[in-house]
């Protein structure tokens, strides 16, 4: 049967779907914090952020779309079979119960509930415990049978949230709360690289391995089976989503940057957007924003729990889907109660460690057709990048070795900027390429 083609209109709506998938409500908090902290260095900082918060996730989708039915497990297995088992588990735990799912609960609490609670309820933690218990009970019930309910909520709430954000961003642009202030110390010397690492916090590059398959399935549901046609639609849809994400993130960063004079430097983006919306639109505006973000966070939470439970069910089918959903929601509920600022802080060492590996895998997947018989390229590139990223992760966790850091700063380019893994990854890839070529030549000679 001949593969169907897909219209530009259908491609556009797939692009909007991809935008909605990537733009979880939690993502809006990070550009706001970046804007506040980077101040007058906002331009290089937001460019760096857009590379990892928009560019790399969309490259991940394109990489999955142009590969032949590959997912995170088959791609990781090219490094080593054991790596192919362990790394996807780390990926799903990261975008699931350890960080991303708990974050949906804390973000919705910070923006939609905390501003309306008494100080005693907030400071005692009772408000958060009660809210997150309710939030994750609802998540559990919907994840058991998501059906069309979550899909419909998402389709309604995403446009509503975008309309509210558009009003907020336009108000901040035409009537800013103040002028842009000087940057904080962390953004003074290398704002681009700091922004680059801040983009890790969105976790979207990691999620692109999962979201890429969602896009492919959406394309195939239209009757498209041709690999080249799927790849073409993936690229177009990715560009549409990238434009939308870029506009929103730039607007949020500017909103954060112009809010310092009125708000001071706040702990996290949830507090920033709540107070900015109150100042710009009053109590009613803050309430509407809170409701929209709460429901948006709920749909994200359910979607991630379903994705994780489905993956672990596939990995170990002896355990039932409902059991996985229950365990995932309980873990997420418990972790969410440590608070948004703490969750972000705890996630940084893990993300700093695994992000370079994900970036390397995406880059190699883009050239997978060329590297078919050169699997050692994957092994050596990931191994070299991983060795450096582990050191970066230990540094982010406060477990730095002064002597090792001094050595690497002196002899490894970009290490002090958090990009020390880049050249080792390239070197490892070249070593793997040479070894693979020699290995293939040896096999041909023997034949």
Short-list 382, 311, 312, CA closest to 353? 382
Task: Confirm or reject CATH 3.90.420.10 for domain 8-337, answering yes or no.
Answer: no
Rounded Cα distance between 365 and 382, Å, is 12
Confidence of residue 431 (pLDDT cuts 50, 70, 90): very high
Query: What is the structure's pLDDT at 95?
Result: 92
Identify the DSSP state of 396.
H
Query: What is the structure's pLDDT at 153?
Result: 62
Query: What is the structure's pLDDT at 437?
Result: 82
pLDDT per residue over 282-297, tens digit each? 888 888 888 888 888 8
CA angle 332, 18, 336 (to 5 degrees): 15
Mean local confidence (pLDDT), 199-212: 88
Min mean pLDDT across 2-16, 95-109, 190-204, 368-382 is at 2-16
Min mean pLDDT across 19-28, 80-89, 111-120, 139-148 is at 19-28
- Does 384 or 209 have the greater pLDDT score? 384
pTM of the model: 0.90
CB neighbours of 115 closer than 8 A, spacing ≥ 6? 274, 275, 278, 286, 290
Q: Is 434 exposed, middle or buried (0-12, 13-18, 19+ CB in 10 A)?
A: middle
Rounded Cα distance between 206 and 352, Å, is 12
- Residues 191, 38: contact at Cβ < 8 Å? yes
- Residues 258, 272: contact at Cβ < 8 Å? no
Query: What is the structure's pLDDT at 2?
Result: 53
CB neighbours of 30 closer than 8 A, spacing ≥ 6? 49, 53, 198, 199, 201, 202, 269
**Ordered DSSP codes for 61-117:** HHHHHHSSS--HHHHHTTT-HHHHHHHHHHHHHIIIIITHHHHHHHHHHHHHTGGGS
Query: What is the structure's pLDDT at 298?
Result: 86
Query: What is the structure's pLDDT at 79?
Result: 94
What does the domain layout of the chain look like in residue ranges? 8-337, 341-447
CA angle 103, 106, 107 (to 5 degrees): 80
Rounded Cα distance between 324 and 167, Å, is 40
Mean local confidence (pLDDT), 402-410: 94
How many Cα atoms are found within 13 Å in the side-chain-facing hemisphere of 193?
13
Short-list 61, 3, 364, CA closest to 231? 61
Query: What is the structure's pLDDT at 89?
Result: 95
- Does 97 or 222 have the greater pLDDT score? 97
pLDDT per residue over 32-66, tens digit each? 999 999 999 999 999 999 999 999 998 998 888 77
Query: Above pLDDT 70, what percent of the chain?
Result: 94
- Does 194 or 209 have the greater pLDDT score? 194
Query: What is the structure's pLDDT at 401?
Result: 87
Min mean pLDDT across 21-25, 176-180, 232-236 is at 21-25
Rounded Cα distance between 218 and 223, Å, is 9
Mean local confidence (pLDDT), 131-135: 95
Alpha-carbon torsion (27, 32, 33, 34), positive or negative: positive
pLDDT per residue over 168-183, tens digit each? 899 999 999 999 999 9
Query: What is the structure's pLDDT at 214?
Result: 77
Q: What is the mean pLDDT of the chain?
A: 88
Rounded Cα distance between 357 and 349, Å, is 14
Query: What is the structure's pLDDT at 377?
Result: 95
The answer to whether residue 138 scores a pLDDT higher than 90 is: yes
Mean local confidence (pLDDT), 374-386: 94
- Does 352 or 235 have the greater pLDDT score? 352
The answer to whether residue 299 scores a pLDDT higher than 90 is: no
- Residues 353, 201: contact at Cβ < 8 Å? no
**Ordered DSSP codes for 129-167:** HHHHHHHHHHHHHHHHS-TTHHHHHHHHHHHHHHHHHHH
**Ordered DSSP codes for 275-298:** HHHHHHHHHHHHHHHHHHHHHHHH
Query: What is the structure's pLDDT at 444?
Result: 47
Query: What is the structure's pLDDT at 164?
Result: 85
- Does 83 or 225 have the greater pLDDT score? 83
């Amino acid at each position: 049967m001949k593969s169907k083609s897909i219209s530009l209109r259908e491609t556009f709506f797939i692009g909007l779907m991809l935008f909605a998938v990537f733009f979880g409500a939690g993502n809006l908090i990070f550009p706001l914090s970046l804007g506040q902290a980077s101040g007058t260095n906002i331009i290089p900082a937001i460019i760096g952020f857009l590379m990892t918060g928009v560019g790399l996730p969309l490259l991940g989708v394109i990489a999955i779309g142009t590969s032949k039915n590959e997912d995170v497990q088959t791609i990781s297995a090219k490094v080593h079979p054991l790596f192919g088992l362990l790394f996807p588990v780390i990926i799903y735990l990261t975008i699931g119960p350890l960080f991303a799912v708990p974050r949906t609960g804390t973000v919705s609490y910070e923006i939609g509930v905390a501003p309306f609670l008494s100080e005693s309820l907030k400071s005692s933690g009772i408000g958060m415990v009660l809210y997150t218990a309710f939030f994750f009970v609802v998540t559990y019930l919907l994840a058991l049978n998501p059906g069309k309910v979550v899909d419909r909520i998402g389709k309604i709430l995403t446009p509503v949230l975008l309309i509210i954000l558009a009003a907020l961003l336009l108000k901040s642009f035409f009537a800013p709360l103040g002028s842009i202030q000087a940057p904080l110390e962390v953004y003074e010397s290398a704002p681009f690289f700091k922004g680059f690492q801040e983009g890790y916090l969105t976790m979207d590059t990691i999620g692109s391995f999962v979201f890429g398959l969602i896009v492919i399935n959406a394309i195939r549901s239209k009757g498209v089976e041709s690999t080249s046609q799927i790849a073409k639609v993936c690229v177009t849809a990715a560009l549409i989503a990238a434009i939308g994400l870029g506009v929103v993130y730039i607007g949020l960063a500017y909103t954060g940057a112009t809010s310092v004079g009125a708000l001071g430097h706040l702990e996290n983006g949830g507090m920033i957007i709540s107070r900015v919306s109150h100042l710009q639109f009053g109590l009613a505006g803050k309430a509407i924003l809170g409701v929209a973000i709460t429901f948006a966070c709920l749909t994200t939470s359910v979607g991630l729990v379903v994705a994780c439970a489905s993956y672990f069910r596939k990995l170990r089918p002896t355990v039932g889907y409902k059991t996985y959903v229950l365990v995932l929601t309980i873990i997420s509920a418990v972790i969410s109660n440590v608070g948004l600022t703490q969750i972000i802080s705890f996630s940084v060492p893990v993300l700093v460690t695994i992000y370079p590996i994900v970036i390397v895998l995406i880059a190699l997947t883009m050239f997978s057709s060329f590297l078919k018989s050169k699997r050692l390229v994957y092994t050596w590139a990931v191994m070299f990048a991983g060795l450096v990223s582990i050191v970066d992760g230990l540094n982010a966790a406060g477990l730095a070795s002064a002597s090792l850091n001094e050595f690497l700063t002196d002899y490894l380019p970009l290490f002090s900027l958090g990009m020390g893994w880049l050249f080792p990854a390239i070197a490892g890839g070249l070593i793997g390429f040479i070894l693979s070529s020699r290995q293939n030549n040896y096999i041909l000679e023997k034949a």
